[in-house]
């Protein structure tokens, strides 16, 4: 059921491919779809930013957008990048080597959002580098995409000292930048990478085990979000890689459905 290309990437992920007899319903559905044609090319022609969606799949778990100071609304990419570089909205500006804005295709259909830069990211100025970054790249490839086709960002643009978790106040301070990034990219689907990213994006304290396998929404335009484990966690807990593969299958199936709805006018 899995193509040779996907099998190669799954091997890189350390995942043995099989479909358990008691697969959850969504897993069975997507497993049956693995042989389907590859997802549409991500490096798509320029897209005009979409207006507010007319509707979203009924399965999306909606939360009211958080009212935030309008720190970045209406900024273009260059202005936004400059605003982040100059930002001193929280204490993290004092200890960063540099800000870590995000990388990738500014018109990507897939967006991956992690929690915050680590030591290596702080040094290089790019999110998801090092071993965890390599594993994220393998996960992206498992979806049939290239790293440069997607957009990768973090909830925080500056590194928390000693790799501590972001403080809620820091995430709130930085959220306007992330919301503007998402609005400029206007992705079809967001993957929240890891518990911290998911809980901050979705403004919830629900454990990641209960956030996985569902469709959530982020921001004023209710961009669809699915949740998976952070690659750093997968490196520490390789037994969980199978679950991350299930998450990717879920994401791929949802992406196809959202693109189909968009093409038929269901989602602007
Ligand atoms: S983490 Fe965000 S809000 Fe805090 S200083 Fe950096 S860019 Fe500004």
Using one digit for the tens of pLDDT, what is the confidence trace for 120-143? Answer: 999 999 999 999 999 999 999 999
Q: How confident is the model at residue 6 (pLDDT cuts 50, 70, 90)?
A: low
Is the model's pLDDT at 177 over the cut of 80? yes
- Output the pLDDT for position 47: 44
Please indicate whether residue 89, judged by its CB atom, sits closer than 6 Å to ligand 1: yes
- Output the pLDDT for position 52: 41
- Output the pLDDT for position 266: 59
Is the model's pLDDT at 82 over the cut of 90? yes
Q: What is the DSSP string of the chain?
A: ---HHHHHHHHHHT------TT--HHHHHHHTTTTSPPPPPSSPSP-PPP-S-S---TTEE--PPPP---SSTT--HHHHHHHHHH--SSGGGGT-SS----EE-TT-SEEEEES---HHHHHHT-SS-HHHHHHHHHHHHHTT--GGGSEEEES-SSPPGGGPPPPHHHHHHHHHHHHHHHHHH--SEEEEESHHHHHHHHT----HHHHTTSEEEETTTTEEEEEE--HHHHHH-GGGHHHHHHHHHHHHHHHHHHHHHHHTTS--
- Measured in Å, residue 8 CA sits from the centre of ligand 1 at 38
Residue nearest to atom 6 of ligand 1 (CA): 158
Is the model's pLDDT at 45 over the cut of 80? no
- Output the pLDDT for position 9: 55
Contacts of 206 (CB under 8 A, 6+ apart): 199
- Measured in Å, residue 221 CA sits from the centre of ligand 1 at 23
- Output the pLDDT for position 141: 96
Kindly state the average pLDDT of the residues 203-207: 96
Residue of 142, 157, 72 whose CA lies nearest to 110: 142
Question: Quick one: what percent of the chain has pLDDT higher than 90?
Answer: 69
Residue of 213, 238, 266, 228 whose CA lies nearest to 59: 213
Q: How confident is the model at residue 49 (pLDDT cuts 50, 70, 90)?
A: very low
- Measured in Å, residue 206 CA sits from the centre of ligand 1 at 25
The answer to whether 239 and 214 are in contact (CB under 8 A) is no
Is the model's pLDDT at 48 over the cut of 80? no
Please indicate whether residue 84, judged by its CB atom, sits closer than 6 Å to ligand 1: yes
- Output the pLDDT for position 13: 58
Using CA atoms, how far apart are residues 38 and 46, in angstroms rounded to an integer? 20
- Output the pLDDT for position 70: 72
Using CA atoms, how far apart are residues 265 and 51, in angstroms rounded to an integer? 12
- Measured in Å, residue 203 CA sits from the centre of ligand 1 at 18
Please provide residue 199's backbone torsions phi and psi, each rounded to the nearest 5 degrees: -65, -35
- Measured in Å, residue 177 CA sits from the centre of ligand 1 at 9
- Output the pLDDT for position 108: 98
Q: What is the mean pLDDT of the chain?
A: 82
The answer to whether 212 and 242 are in contact (CB under 8 A) is no
- Output the pLDDT for position 43: 36
Is the model's pLDDT at 256 over the cut of 70? yes
Please indicate whether residue 181, judged by its CB atom, sits closer than 6 Å to ligand 1: no
Q: How confident is the model at residue 262 (pLDDT cuts 50, 70, 90)?
A: confident
* Token duo for residue 20: 């358990």
Q: Which residue has the higher pLDDT, 122 or 31?
A: 122
C-alpha dihedral (79, 85, 90, 95), degrees to nearest 10: 170
Using CA atoms, how far apart are residues 126 and 19, in angstroms rounded to an integer? 36
Q: Which residue has the higher pLDDT, 63 or 42?
A: 63
Please indicate whether residue 121, judged by its CB atom, sits closer than 6 Å to ligand 1: no
Residue nearest to atom 2 of ligand 1 (CA): 174
Q: How confident is the model at residue 218 (pLDDT cuts 50, 70, 90)?
A: very high
C-alpha dihedral (131, 205, 113, 127), degrees to nearest 10: -40
- Output the pLDDT for position 76: 96
Please indicate whether residue 200, judged by its CB atom, sits closer than 6 Å to ligand 1: no
């Amino acid at each position: 059921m899995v193509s040779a290309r996907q099998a190669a990437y799954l091997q890189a992920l350390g995942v043995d491919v099989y479909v358990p007899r008691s697969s959850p319903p969504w897993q069975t559905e997507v497993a049956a779809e693995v042989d389907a044609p590859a997802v549409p090319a991500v490096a798509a022609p320029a897209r005009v930013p979409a207006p507010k969606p007319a509707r979203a799949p009924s399965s999306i778990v909606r939360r009211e957008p958080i009212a935030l100071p309008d720190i970045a609304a209406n900024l273009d990419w260059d202005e936004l990048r400059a605003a982040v570089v100059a930002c001193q909205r929280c204490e993290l500006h004092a200890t960063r080597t540099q800000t870590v804005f995000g990388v990738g295709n500014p018109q990507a259909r897939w967006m991956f959002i992690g929690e915050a830069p680590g030591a290596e990211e702080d040094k290089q100025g790019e999110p998801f580098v090092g071993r965890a970054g390599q594993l994220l790249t393998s996960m992206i490839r498992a979806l049939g995409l290239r790293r440069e086709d997607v957009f990768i960002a973090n909830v925080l643009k500056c590194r928390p000292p000693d790799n501590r978790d972001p403080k809620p106040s820091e995430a709130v301070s930085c959220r306007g930048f992330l919301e503007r990034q998402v609005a400029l990219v206007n992705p079809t689907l967001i993957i929240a990478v890891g518990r911290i990213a998911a809980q901050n994006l979705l403004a919830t304290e629900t454990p990641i085990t209960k956030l996985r396998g569902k469709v959530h929404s982020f921001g004023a335009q209710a961009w669809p979000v699915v949740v998976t484990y952070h690659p750093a966690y997968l490196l520490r807990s390789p037994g969980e890689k199978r679950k991350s593969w299930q998450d990717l299958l879920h994401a791929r199936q949802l992406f196809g459905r959202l693109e189909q709805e968009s093409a038929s006018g269901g989602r602007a």
